[in-house]
Amino acid sequence: MTDSRPTIRLKPKANARAIRHGAPWVYDNEIVTDRRSKALAAGTIARLEDAERNPLATVAVTPASRIFARVLDRDPEAEIDADWLSARLAAAHAHRAHLFDAPYYRLVHAEADGLPGVVIDRFGETAVMQPNAAWADRLAEVLAEALVAVTGVTNVIKNASGRARGLEGLDDVSQVLIGENPGTVPVPMNGAIYMADLEGGQKTGLFFDQRPNHAFAASLARGGRVLDVFSHVGGFSLAALAGGAESALAVDGSAPALALAEQGAGQGGMAARFATRQGDAFAMLEALAQEGARFDVVICDPPAFAPNKQALEAGLRAYERLARLAAPLVAPGGYLGLCSCSHAADLAKFRTACNRGIGRAGRQAQLIHTGFAGPDHPQHPQLAESGYLKALFYRLLP
């Protein structure tokens, strides 16, 4: 490595020990900033030193971001090149290949897999990559080539729709980096077939994180009637039908998502037991209550109501309202599943909001299970944000 790599330094009161012990982020108020450091291009690879000028780590900097530096390697002399990327990808791939029989999973989960800001989902022969940090966006083509070499995929798509990219000053232009975009692909999961839209769908095309919660809900739904609210492409409903549910109704605001859900139900041979309704979820819950509808299992898996701290209080009120409207639709002795992907709303706050909503609906409940994201979405031990997904399952007493 040459000495041309720029150096940034922690302020005296910054916690250098946290970096030595594995903390992945350095905030802008922890860095000695001057015209030189502020002028560094976003994505620049730099050497991080403590206040006494002792080398700490190799980092990627984004001077305009609240997260000024992301730790790439605790070796201050590490070369961030194709070999380095391949080693990180190989470690991530080995974990997923050990977990799953088929190549459909979250392949890279950002900081937890040692690739800060990088999300990669695998759909068989296709990998969809979200380089949501400037350093990764600059190395996107090298990363794509390493992906092919390590995993054997033939298609690599760069998805630039991530909200975090804006915070890094990055564009929203998606493109095929290697191979082609297959469009809509069938994904086998929990005995069901899901249709993932790799071109126009949400995020990378499918949400793999709910896989274990889909399976748990399916175990509750055997022989029963299921309501899947905020269903997207049929996440909970199709898994429930595959697990032996009598029927399932999927509710979502997106007509294209419901069309994909219907297509998945057809491919799985479950179309006769599957129905959909398009519209605002809260309005649909109220309408179903007026109709006197009852279900043995009701699942609500909304988008993030509290995507940041500023939205926390409003988000918690929305979770409470959702629980209040969903609880009356659960048959006596049935089950209610409530999910949150808001990292700003921790488990305790989310649980309190749900408990309050169920109580306001006049129902008594037992909390029987708490679920999280699957093991292909590992948590970084020192990054609470990586534990974003919570799923609470209640039995509502007769």
Residues designated catalytic = 341
Q: Is 55 left (phi over 0), alpha (psi -120 to 50) or beta?
A: beta
Are 21 and 73 contacting, i.e. CB atoms less than 8 angstroms apart? no
* Contacts for 352 with CB less than 8 Å, ≥ 6 apart: 316
Q: What is the CA radius of gyration of the chain?
A: 23
Calpha distance 67→340 (Å, rounded): 24
**What are the residues facing 109 on neighbouring strands?**
119
Q: Where are the alpha helices (DSSP H) in the chain?
A: 16-20, 35-38, 82-99, 134-138, 140-151, 163-167, 211-220, 235-242, 255-267, 281-290, 312-326, 347-360
Whole-Å CA distances, 112 to 71, 207, 280, 287, 387: 12, 18, 35, 42, 10
The number of angstroms, rounded, from the C-alpha of 184 to the middle of its chain's C-alpha atoms is 20
Residue among 375, 397, 394, 329 at smallest CA distance from 95: 375
Length of the chain, please?
Answer: 398
Q: What angle do CA 18, 22, 26 make, to 5 degrees?
A: 60
Whole-Å CA distances, 170 to 28, 157, 163, 173, 342: 19, 17, 10, 9, 23
